[in-house]
Each structure stands twice: as C-alpha cells, then as structure tokens.
Chain A
Amino acid sequence: AQSVTQLGSHVSVSEGALVLLRCNYSSSVPPYLFWYVQYPNQGLQLLLKYTSAATLVKGINGFEAEFKKSETSFHLTKPSAHMSDAAEYFCAVSEGGADGLTFGKGTHLIIQP
C-alpha cells in the first residue's frame, strides 16, 4: 500500500524567503510523485510531477522538487516566496502512471508581508 506524509499542516514564510514543503512517501514499487496546489474554493492544479526521469523536477511558478529515493522524500522548494503563493499544497503518489492518486493531508502555506 502507498502512503504520503506531509510534515507541517501550516508553514509560514516571509515574502522573498525560501519555501520548503516536506513530503515523504511509502510505496512498494517505484513511485510516480506529484505536487498539486489548491487555491481557495478551486480545484487542484498540477505544479510538477516525477516520472523516473530526472530526479530534480522543475514545475510552474518557480517551484521545483527533488526525488531522493534513499530518503523516500519529494520535498517542494521555491527560492523566493511571493504573496500569490499562499495556498494549500498537496503531495501525492501513484504506483501506476494512470492509477488513482493517494494524497497527503496537505500543507497550508502562509506568506507574511
């Protein structure tokens, strides 16, 4: 069975500071990993995905994530936070490329001016 753990239900950073959202996964097979963002009262939008190619994945809006098999981690980073980054972020895993996703509980990112 697969699972995802997101450390920190809320993360607060200052505008311009580094954003780091943590995600650890458990999977019995090489996983497919995703980060989605959800703005209030909206659906989920894909930020980036890992598909067993490059371990450093670049996504939209300046976000990137690094797959570390030894640490079973897929942390999301952005060098400089912007007010518009305030949202809920979800890490997800799939054991088959077309299967349903298993989501973490989400991390609410707060940007302080």
Chain B
Amino acid sequence: DAGVIQSPRHEVTEMGQEVTLRCKPISGHDYLFWYRQTMMRGLELLIYFNNNVPIDDSGMPEDRFSAKMPNASFSTLKIQPSEPRDSAVYFCASSFRSAGTDTQYFGPGTRLTVL
C-alpha cells in the first residue's frame, strides 16, 4: 500500500496568498483527519471527515481555513488569505472503522512557511 499521500511536501508562500494542501487517504479508509503541528501548540486536530462528510471542525482556527472532501480518495485544506502564524507542519491521517479502536495512519506532512 502507498500509505497516506500528501502534497506538496514543502510550501513557501507570501502573506496574503492562498494555499491549498492536498491529501489522498489510504484506499478503503472511511475517516480522514487534518492535524497541525507547531512548536508552541504541539499537534492539534483541525477537522475530520467520515464518509466524506465533515464531522467535527471545531479545531479549525478561523474562517480563513476551509477543508473539503469531494470524494473518498481526496481532501484539501485551504488557507485564504495566509498569514505568517499559519506556518506549521500539516498532517493528514486516515483510518478504517472496524470493531474496536481504529488506528490512524499519518502522511509525511506538508511543511508550510508563510513569509
């Protein structure tokens, strides 16, 4: 299996620009999660989907952030407009609901730098 695929791996942009991060979950997984990792706040859950439907977006920091999952094999996290404080590593993870507890499989992350 290819695992969770994220693109791009690195993104450098200027303040005010739109940024789109992409994620392809593991085939057959029905849950998808977006996390953000910073030195100050650690790992935070931003939003998660079940069967392409957003379930909990309470971690999305503000209206500049939006996430979509148009189909079972693709999700995007968009920041518009971007700000320097959005600089972080953004992780996507996916899992499959089964009897018991699900294991979340993480992608390699996208390192975002906003200048």
Q: A100-B45, A106-B42 are in contact. Are A44 and B101 (CB under 8 A)?
A: no
Q: A43-B4, A43-B109, A44-B91 are in contact. Are A97 and B42 (CB under 8 A)?
A: no
Q: Per DSSP, are chain A's interface residues mostly helix, strand or loop, or mixed?
A: loop
Asked if B4 contacts A101 (CB within 8 A), the reply is no
Asked if A103 contacts B91 (CB within 8 A), the reply is no
| Residue of A with least CB distance to B45 | A100
A107 CA to B72 CA, complexed, in Å: 34
Instruction: Determine how close the nearest CB of chain A comes to the CB of B30; give it in whole angstroms.
Output: 9
Q: Is B115 close to A, CB under 8 A?
A: no
Asked if B45 contacts A102 (CB within 8 A), the reply is yes
- Number of B interface residues at 8 Å Cβ cutoff, please give it: 26
Q: Is B56 close to A, CB under 8 A?
A: yes
Asked if A103 contacts B106 (CB within 8 A), the reply is no
Choose one: A100, A104, A105; the contact of B56 (CB below 8 Å). A100
Choose one: A97, A100, A104; the contact of B100 (CB below 8 Å). A97
Listed in ascending order, the chain A residues whose CB lies under 8 Å from chain B are 32, 36, 41-46, 49, 51, 90, 94, 97-106
Listed in ascending order, the chain B residues whose CB lies under 8 Å from chain A are 4, 31, 33, 35, 42-45, 48, 50, 56, 59, 91, 93, 95, 97, 100-109
Q: Which 9 A-B pairs have the closest CB atoms?
A: A43-B106, A100-B45, A103-B43, A51-B101, A97-B101, A44-B106, A32-B101, A105-B42, A43-B108
Identify 8 new A-B residue pairs, CB closer than 8 A, beyond the known A46-B104, A101-B33. A41-B108, A43-B109, A44-B91, A49-B101, A97-B102, A100-B45, A101-B35, A106-B43
